[in-house]
Amino acid sequence: MTDPRTSSALTVAAIQQHCSPDKAVSFASSERLIRQAAKGGAQLIVLQELHATQYFCQTEDTEIFELAEPIPGPTSEWLSNLARELHVVLVGSIFERRMNGVYHNTAVVFDTDGTLAGLYRKMHIPDDPGFYEKFYFTPGDATFNDGQSGFTPIQTSIGKLGVLVCWDQWYPEAARLMALAGADILIYPTAIGWDVTDDPTEQARQLDAWVTVQRGHAIANNLPVIAPNRVGVEPDPSGHSHGIHFWGNSFICGPQGEFLARGNETDECVLAVTLDRNRTESVRRIWPYLRDRRIDAYGDIVKRVRD
């Protein structure tokens, strides 16, 4: 058997699915698609953001905190068992209860033996109409107890994964810090969609911006990107809006931003491609962005605004 640590070929998959308010129903859909991906040879499988339920941040409701779980907990145990059984690296998403009053939007990574390779707590938290995440989620820690940055890749048996979450995808700083720390792949589990009352031209602009900014991170850092997103219209439980039409369009692109696989806006799917892990090195030799960075001139980047 080829050692995944030394082979240049790595088969990866992104899961695009509908979600249910019932965790059991969502888990059944996820598991079906995970097994399909593993049967197709995927070594790394990535689920979308908050895949266990419908996207509950359309409203502010204290009862929703009952959905949160500790780590370890039921969802992490389910993900761990699947990773071990299928011998895959599995990236999932959990509404994490860290302690009383402290909750996170957390990506978890399980290695092929089912062990927790690491977790990433979403750093950038939006607060927009229909996306009231600041009510529910505490931002991830800027540094861990061991002094590592919150933007630290997770080491697995198939490489270092630069896991970020949804709103993080709009920030080039997050992608760059992951790249500088040695990430082999950038991963963005996502839950994003349209206000169903937006006109088609505005919807097209929003979708194009979402795709383009992530392809830009791939290009600027010479890294492949995996971006799974959910599909389907999910109602606003409060009835104050028409809900969100999650636009799917999950994709995987290469280190020059080239599309390798892409879903549509309506259907569940497994996107699977085989990456050449030597590609990043070869591209960086001809487009040496990291070599030519003027780190002596970037001090103002840590200011909120330049005076």
User: What is the pLDDT, as a whole number, of residue 238?
Assistant: 83
Give, rounded to a whole angstrom, the gap between the first and last alpha carbons of the chain.
Answer: 58
In degrees and rounded to multiples of 5, residue 183 shows phi and psi of -60, 140
pLDDT of residue 1: 47
Domain 9-292 fold: Nitrilase/N-carbamoyl-D-aminoacid amidohydrolase (3.60.110)
61-65, 142-146, 184-188, 207-211: lowest mean pLDDT where? Answer: 142-146
Predicted confidence (pLDDT) per residue in 248-301, tens digit = 999 999 999 999 999 999 999 999 999 999 999 999 999 999 999 999 999 999
Whether the CB-CB separation of 52 and 75 falls below 8 Å is answered with yes
* pTM higher than the cut 0.85: yes
Tell me which of 57, 166, 253, 269 is the catalytic residue: 166
Q: Mind listing the pLDDT tens digit for each residue in 53-110?
A: 999 999 999 999 999 999 999 999 999 999 999 999 999 999 999 999 999 999 999 9
CA distances from 238 to 49, 55, 65, 235, 246 (A): 22, 13, 16, 9, 18
Average pLDDT estimate for 142-160: 88
Is the pLDDT at 3 greater than 70? The verdict is: no
H/E stretch holding 10 reads strand 9-16
What radius of gyration, in Å, describes the C-alpha atoms of the chain?
Answer: 19
Of 122, 133, 253, 265, which residue is the catalytic one?
122
**253 carries an active-site annotation:** no
At 146 the pLDDT is: 75
Domain borders along the chain are: 9-292
Tell me whether residue 49 is one of the annotated catalytic residues: yes
Q: What is the mean pLDDT of residues 163-175?
A: 97
Q: At a CB cut-off of 8 Å and minimum separation 6, what does 174 contact?
A: 123, 124, 151, 164, 168
Report CA torsion sign: 80, 116, 151, 226.
negative
